[in-house]
Amino acid sequence: MAWYLNLNDLHKTGKPQNTWWTHYYNPGSEVPISGIYKCRHCKKEITSNKGDPLPPQNHHQHATNLGSIQWELIVRTNTEGN
């Protein structure tokens, strides 16, 4: 789970308007929006920038009984000034 010091620095989104909040991403796929991503199964977190690839399969490994590696956006970062 991501940590924060001041809750005032975070803004809760209402109903997700964009698919990046509800989509799972495979290793190596292009990051749609900058932010913190969490592995759906083992909960490891990474930060990634828009347009970069998510870590490849061999970068992040977890037990096979946890299922395939799938990343989900948990915190969007404001890199575009809005």
Q: Is the pLDDT of residue 66 over 90?
A: no
Q: Which residue has the higher pLDDT, 25 or 13?
A: 25
Q: Do residues 26 and 67 lie in contact, with contact meaning Cβ atoms separated by under 8 Å?
A: no
pLDDT band at 81 (very low <50, low <70, confident <90, very high): low
- Would you state the pLDDT for residue 32? 94
Q: At 31, phi and psi to the nearest 5?
A: -75, 125
Q: Which residue has the higher pLDDT, 49 or 66?
A: 49
pLDDT band at 29 (very low <50, low <70, confident <90, very high): very high
